[in-house]
Amino acid sequence: MRQITTPLDNILSLISSAHDYGFDDTILMNAFAEMLNHKLSSEEIEVYARAVEATDWSWGEEDYEMVKQTLERFKIVFINQTKEK
């Protein structure tokens, strides 16, 4: 079987924009959690959210907050909940 890899930023981008594009269902979010080996740190979330804020796409503090909240919610629901089972 071939192995496909992608940087963490790509996965976090998909998670943070999933709702906007209508593909934020449980099956996909669980798949992302599996891809992340059920690990996502607050530092990784912060670094990614700050990187989004710093892009040239006229994004700012509001976008930083939205991305950070989305990823923190994902962490609670799909990373932390799965660990507890």
**pTM of the model as a whole:** 0.86
Residue 73 has pLDDT above 90, yes or no: yes
Q: What is the pLDDT of residues 29-68, one digit of tens each?
A: 999 999 999 999 999 999 999 998 887 666 677 888 999 9
DSSP-derived secondary structure letter, 21: H
58-to-46, 51, 53 alpha-carbon distances in Å:
19, 12, 8
Q: What are phi and psi of 77, to 5 degrees?
A: -80, -45
3-state SS, residue 3: coil
Answer with the residue of higher pLDDT: 1 or 30: 30
Give Cβ neighbours of residue 72 (< 8 Å, ≥ 6 apart): 42, 45
Convert the pLDDT of each residue in 14-39 to its tens digit: 999 999 999 989 999 999 999 999 99
Residue 64 corresponds to which amino acid?
Y
Work out the pLDDT band at 82, boundaries 50, 70, 90: low
